[in-house]
A and B are shown apart, each in its own frame.
Chain A
Amino acid sequence: MAKPTDLVQGTLDLLILKTISLEPKHGWAIAKRIQQVSREALQIQQGSLYPALHRLEQQAWIKAEWRPTETGRMAKFYSLTRSGRKQLERELANWVRLSTAINIVVQGA
């Protein structure tokens, strides 16, 4: 089980952006979703998640709005802004380039 600090620098932002790119989600759902999709490999700690959400919001890549959840309780839902979508594309491209390069080095050696 990887701690968030073990995540490659900046990948948490990528994970968050990717996770909310399909539909708006609140913080809890974002953490859960990452956990499920990674088959429990990635556990996002609240201590990292919320500062990261704040940072992305201050960068105006994501925006937040208060909406009722399926249980009727109000929660803060995050969704991508237009510049956030561009940022996601940029980070994805970066990630692909970086992981490919690392794979070549790791497997070719």
Chain B
Amino acid sequence: MRILDKARLRLRSLFRRPDVDFELEAELRFHLDRLIEENVSSGMPPDEARRAAHRKIGGVAQYTEECREMRRVRFVEDLVQDVRYTIRSLAKSPGFTGVVVATLALGIGANIAIFTIVHGALLRPLDYPKPDRLMYLTAEAPAIGSAGNPLSAREYIEFRHMTQSFAEVGAYSTGGSAYTTGEVNLTVGDRPLRARSVSVDAHLLKALRIQPERGRLFRDEETARWTGTLPPPIAILSHELWRTAFGGRPIVGQKVEIEGRPHEIVGIMPPGADVMDNHTQIWLPLWLHPNMASQREAHVLYVVARRKDGVAFEAARTELSALLENWGDRVGATEHVPTNRPLRPVDHTLQLRPLQDAIVGNASRPIWVLQAAVGFVLLIVCANLANLVMARAGSRRREFVLRAALGASRGRLLRQSVTEGAMLSGAGGILGVWLASAGVRALIHAYPTSIPRTSELTIDLPVLLVALGLSTGTALLFGFVSLGRRRSSSMATALKKGARGASGAWRHSAHRGLVIVQVALAVMLVIGAGLLVQTVYNLTKIDAGFDRSRLVTFSLTLPMANSEPDTRAQAYQRVLERLRTVPGVLGTTAMSGLPPNRTADAIATPIENYTRGDGRPFEIIDYYQFVMGDYFGTMGIPIVAGRGFERTDNASEGKVAIVNEALANRIWKGQDPIGRRLRPPGGSFGAGDNVWHTVIGVAKDVRQRGVERPAGTELYVSLDQHSVSPPSMNVVMRTTLPPVALSATIERAVSEVDAAVPVVRLRDMDSVFAESIRRPRLLAQLLGAFAGLALLLAAIGTYGVLSYMVTERRREIGIRVALGAARSRVLTEIMKQGLQVTALGVTIGLVGTLAVNRLIASLLFGVQPTDIVTIAFVIAAITAVAALASWLPAWRASRVDPNVVLRDE
């Protein structure tokens, strides 16, 4: 009760202050009147009585103030006063306020946006129970530079049985060998959909410790029995797909058509459940073809394991190393067993690393580079603000000194200026958080797959705490700069009109120092951005080996479950024929892997009269390209020797193949490859048996897996000749029409052939290329934006400091002009000062660049971190900007009219 009473009183003191003061006054007046009455009744004349009473009561104002102190709300009242005063004084200089709040918002906003990504993608633990115990096991073949590969099914099972360090070891697959290609056709109502899928075994779900939101997960026996020709027809839906495609209605236990086969939905995953940032929508039971499951060469399973409690990462590693010592002896195998010492190209080893590292992968470096960049931007912002505040404090020196003379205590003045700083940085911070959340949303929208773990990115408590920290830091900076500035001003000199502060030299060098820091940081950022822009330019200019203009592509999947290789081939032929007759379409073809962004096949291919270095009669070919129709003509790939596929080949008995230059050079080393024979395994594309193919031509190399990677070895097989087809194909058309104009025609052509098959990834080839370099492009765009911001801020800083110096030296300049100094000389002198500062900044920035640029070397393509052209260009640009920023104040100085100045002073 008493607390409530007190609170009520404090609130009254705060918000009804005029009433409270009026009551106090009335009370004191009552007292005074009674005193006067008493004096009168004791016989004094009225005037005398009044005077005596006043004498006795004393200084009313003083104890009125004492009474106010008793109200215990003085602190709040002062604060309110400060805030009011700050709003008034900031409103009086909207330019200053606007610049400060805007720079702060940009600086803080950029930092929060990037920190959201750093925190959400890199720092925050994965969304599983005890995520630090989760490990990722991969196969590495260092001799051929191949890393992060899946394990073979045998290896996975052997590891499960042998290891003691792990409580649970599970596997998943997104590849074609596990029946799907990481995507499945799904029929909802009469609408065909394509959904991202993953095939998991029950152990994996246990290792991740995912609990279903509804229904159940897979049972051990449903995911471990790899027999027959098809997996059990059951599936689990992601929460998100269940909501969007099925409207969240009860579906567990019902049948849904997946890959043309009814599947029972056994469960729904909780929101956000995923594996390896796959954006999984449908979870299927892991199933491998029995042949695939027994082959040691077939690397198809990704393995995730949960360490037992009390087993350290190092211990698990040591155990794996011990297992690798004699893996073959332990499991009774001699061929293709993992080893600790992978020396030959066919050898591989196994590697364990934390699951989180594996998920973030190589995205972590660009993200940290961005964080460093925005950190630089914030430093520049702070330097700029320090300069602004110092200049403002200088011009308000007399005001402060006057207030001190009128009795404001030093602490009170400091509190006032900290309040000002807090309000400015608070406004900047709030605006910054808003900017950041808008920015992050826009970023995820524009680049949904370039940043890892985007589904989990939010501005949450830790991020807001960082924002608060940044804002508080800048607020303190304001206070300190103002304090330092004011301490140097003595009351008397400041009050004398026109007097110069004794610490002018110190102040000028402080201003200059801040500008040098700004320029140095801007130089580093702009050079970094320049190198990345150069990288993106190089990437877009790469000749991928085919003519990418006027190409439109889409992809189709005819599910294995309800189609045969030969019926699929007929279906694709019909689609191609329909599209060929569309006006504006100049050529059509279909291929199994769409360059330049496909996955590698790495298929061991027997070659006639050939033995490899290690004595084997085959070569591992990086890419198999199974094509239909006029592939080379439509894609614009030159045939450098021999000929391309022709219609007459389709009927002929002898099977033919085309190799790329890289394969021809690898195997036949300068000899004529035409007429040589190799035997691609028929199972790889749906043909029944392995037959010898005769090489009829050599095609120019085409970049297959990223434009920045060298082209690998490639073998082309004509599916028209075999009349079979793998389930998924990419159709490419050479056409003058854009994808949107073709969309309806394509949908119709496909639905006439098979209404249950969705058309996916319909786009032009330029979009495919843009997609392949999205990460460097995103990095270059962001870094470019930050560098531009840094440059602008540094220019503003240079301009501001020179302007301030010119204002302070107006009198001196005026006198010199009056004494006959040439105006051009004044101009050169001021500009020289600006450029000197810039030159120092550039030098320091260059040293810094050389020190840290090797950190971004791995992000560059076709340009060295010390690229002299980029650096020279950046220096020229920054000098030009600095010259412009110095010229304005210098020009103003040279226009100083001595008459006006001398009269003013």
Q: Which A residues fall within an 8 A CB radius of B?
A: 26-28, 45-47, 50-51, 54-55, 57-60, 63, 66, 73-76, 81-83
22 pairs, A vs B, C-beta closer than 8 Å: A26-B30, A27-B27, A28-B31, A28-B34, A46-B28, A46-B58, A46-B63, A50-B28, A50-B63, A50-B67, A51-B63, A51-B66, A51-B67, A58-B70, A58-B71, A59-B6, A60-B2, A60-B5, A76-B27, A81-B2, A83-B1, A83-B2
Residues of A within 8 A of B31 (CB): 27-28, 46, 50
Residues of A within 8 A of B2 (CB): 60, 81, 83
Residues of A within 8 A of B10 (CB): 58
Interface size class of B (residues with CB under 8 A): 20 to 34
B648 within 8 A of A: no
B740 within 8 A of A: no
Which residue of chain A has its CB nearest to the CB of B59? A47
B57 within 8 A of A: yes
B277 within 8 A of A: no
For the complex formed, measure the closest distance between the CB of A26 and the CB atoms of chain B, giving whole angstroms: 7
For the complex formed, measure the closest distance between the CB of A71 and the CB atoms of chain B, giving whole angstroms: 9
Bound complex: CA A83 to CA B1 (Å)? 9
Bound complex: CA A55 to CA B69 (Å)? 9
Instruction: Assess the A54–B23 pair: CB atoms within 8 A.
Output: no
Residues of A within 8 A of B6 (CB): 58-60
Enumerate B583-635 residues with CB–CB distance to A below 8 Å: none
For the complex formed, measure the closest distance between the CB of A61 and the CB atoms of chain B, giving whole angstroms: 9
Bound complex: CA A60 to CA B5 (Å)? 6
For the complex formed, measure the closest distance between the CB of A5 and the CB atoms of chain B, giving whole angstroms: 14
Residues of A within 8 A of B71 (CB): 54, 58
Which residue of chain B has its CB nearest to the CB of A61? B2
Instruction: Assess the B9–A57 pair: CB atoms within 8 A.
Output: yes
Apart from the given pairs A50-B67, A58-B9, A82-B1, 12 other A-B contacts in the complex at a CB distance below 8 Å = A46-B57, A46-B63, A47-B59, A47-B66, A50-B24, A50-B28, A50-B66, A54-B24, A54-B70, A58-B6, A58-B13, A73-B30
Bound complex: CA A13 to CA B67 (Å)? 15
Enumerate B13-27 residues with CB–CB distance to A below 8 Å: 13, 23-24, 26-27
Residues of A within 8 A of B35 (CB): 28
Residues of A within 8 A of B30 (CB): 26-28, 73-76
B62 within 8 A of A: yes
Residues of B within 8 A of A28 (CB): 30-31, 34-35
Which residue of chain A has its CB nearest to the CB of B64? A50
The 3 A-B residue pairs whose C-beta atoms are closest, nearest first, are A54-B70, A60-B5, A51-B66
Residues of B within 8 A of A73 (CB): 30
Residues of A within 8 A of B26 (CB): 74, 76
B816 within 8 A of A: no
Bound complex: CA A23 to CA B26 (Å)? 22
Most chain B CB atoms below 10 A, which of A50, A51, A54: A54
**Contacts A27-B31, A28-B31; is A54 near B5 (CB within 8 Å)?**
no
Residues of A within 8 A of B9 (CB): 57-58, 60
B72 within 8 A of A: yes
Residues of A within 8 A of B59 (CB): 47
Instruction: Assess the B72–A58 pair: CB atoms within 8 A.
Output: yes
Instruction: Assess the B23–A55 pair: CB atoms within 8 A.
Output: no
Enumerate B86-135 residues with CB–CB distance to A below 8 Å: none
Q: Which B residues fall within an 8 A CB radius of A?
A: 1-2, 5-6, 9-10, 13, 23-24, 26-28, 30-31, 34-35, 57-59, 62-63, 66-67, 69-72
Bound complex: CA A26 to CA B26 (Å)? 12
Instruction: Assess the B72–A51 pair: CB atoms within 8 A.
Output: no
Bound complex: CA A59 to CA B5 (Å)? 9
Residues of A within 8 A of B72 (CB): 58
For the complex formed, measure the closest distance between the CB of B68 and the CB atoms of chain A, giving whole angstroms: 8
Instruction: Assess the A51–B58 pair: CB atoms within 8 A.
Output: no
**Contacts A27-B27, A60-B6, A81-B5; is A54 near B57 (CB within 8 Å)?**
no
Residues of A within 8 A of B57 (CB): 46-47
Bound complex: CA A75 to CA B62 (Å)? 22
Bound complex: CA A81 to CA B9 (Å)? 14
Instruction: Assess the A47–B63 pair: CB atoms within 8 A.
Output: yes
Bound complex: CA A46 to CA B34 (Å)? 12
Residues of A within 8 A of B62 (CB): 47
Residues of A within 8 A of B27 (CB): 26-27, 50, 75-76
For the complex formed, measure the closest distance between the CB of A88 and the CB atoms of chain B, giving whole angstroms: 14
Bound complex: CA A55 to CA B70 (Å)? 5
For the complex formed, measure the closest distance between the CB of A73 and the CB atoms of chain B, giving whole angstroms: 7
Which residue of chain A has its CB nearest to the CB of B68? A54
Bound complex: CA A65 to CA B27 (Å)? 11
For the complex formed, measure the closest distance between the CB of A67 and the CB atoms of chain B, giving whole angstroms: 12
For the complex formed, measure the closest distance between the CB of B24 and the CB atoms of chain A, giving whole angstroms: 7
Which residue of chain A has its CB nearest to the CB of B33? A73
For the complex formed, measure the closest distance between the CB of A38 and the CB atoms of chain B, giving whole angstroms: 18
Residues of B within 8 A of A54 (CB): 24, 67, 70-71
Bound complex: CA A28 to CA B33 (Å)? 10
Residues of B within 8 A of A63 (CB): 5
For the complex formed, measure the closest distance between the CB of B887 and the CB atoms of chain A, giving whole angstroms: 63
Bound complex: CA A66 to CA B23 (Å)? 9
Contact partner of A51 among B1, B5, B34, B69, CB < 8 A?
B69
For the complex formed, measure the closest distance between the CB of B519 and the CB atoms of chain A, giving whole angstroms: 57
For the complex formed, measure the closest distance between the CB of A70 and the CB atoms of chain B, giving whole angstroms: 12
Instruction: Assess the B28–A51 pair: CB atoms within 8 A.
Output: no
Residues of A within 8 A of B5 (CB): 60, 63, 81
Bound complex: CA A27 to CA B28 (Å)? 9
Residues of A within 8 A of B1 (CB): 82-83
Instruction: Assess the B58–A47 pair: CB atoms within 8 A.
Output: yes
Bound complex: CA A93 to CA B31 (Å)? 32
Which residue of chain B has its CB nearest to the CB of A63? B5
Which residue of chain A has its CB nearest to the CB of B27? A76
Which residue of chain B has its CB nearest to the CB of A29? B34
Residues of B within 8 A of A60 (CB): 2, 5-6, 9
Which residue of chain B has its CB nearest to the CB of A59? B6
Bound complex: CA A97 to CA B123 (Å)? 64
Which residue of chain B has its CB nearest to the CB of A75? B30
Residues of B within 8 A of A75 (CB): 27, 30
Bound complex: CA A58 to CA B27 (Å)? 16
For the complex formed, measure the closest distance between the CB of A25 and the CB atoms of chain B, giving whole angstroms: 12
Bound complex: CA A97 to CA B433 (Å)? 61
Bound complex: CA A97 to CA B654 (Å)? 121
Residues of A within 8 A of B70 (CB): 51, 54-55, 58
Residues of A within 8 A of B69 (CB): 51
Bound complex: CA A70 to CA B138 (Å)? 98
Bound complex: CA A51 to CA B67 (Å)? 4
For the complex formed, measure the closest distance between the CB of B23 and the CB atoms of chain A, giving whole angstroms: 7
Residues of A within 8 A of B66 (CB): 47, 50-51
For the complex formed, measure the closest distance between the CB of B883 and the CB atoms of chain A, giving whole angstroms: 65
For the complex formed, measure the closest distance between the CB of B565 and the CB atoms of chain A, giving whole angstroms: 90
For the complex formed, measure the closest distance between the CB of A76 and the CB atoms of chain B, giving whole angstroms: 5
Bound complex: CA A17 to CA B23 (Å)? 21
Bound complex: CA A55 to CA B28 (Å)? 16
Residues of A within 8 A of B63 (CB): 46-47, 50-51
Instruction: Assess the B28–A76 pair: CB atoms within 8 A.
Output: no
Bound complex: CA A54 to CA B68 (Å)? 8
Bound complex: CA A43 to CA B828 (Å)? 80
Which residue of chain B has its CB nearest to the CB of A31? B31
Bound complex: CA A4 to CA B833 (Å)? 69
Residues of B within 8 A of A58 (CB): 6, 9-10, 13, 70-72
Residues of A within 8 A of B23 (CB): 66, 76
Bound complex: CA A55 to CA B824 (Å)? 71
Bound complex: CA A55 to CA B10 (Å)? 12
Which residue of chain B has its CB nearest to the CB of A49? B31
Bound complex: CA A63 to CA B9 (Å)? 10
For the complex formed, measure the closest distance between the CB of A37 and the CB atoms of chain B, giving whole angstroms: 18
Bound complex: CA A74 to CA B23 (Å)? 11
For the complex formed, measure the closest distance between the CB of A62 and the CB atoms of chain B, giving whole angstroms: 11
Bound complex: CA A33 to CA B810 (Å)? 72
For the complex formed, measure the closest distance between the CB of B50 and the CB atoms of chain A, giving whole angstroms: 16
Bound complex: CA A66 to CA B30 (Å)? 12
For the complex formed, measure the closest distance between the CB of A103 and the CB atoms of chain B, giving whole angstroms: 33
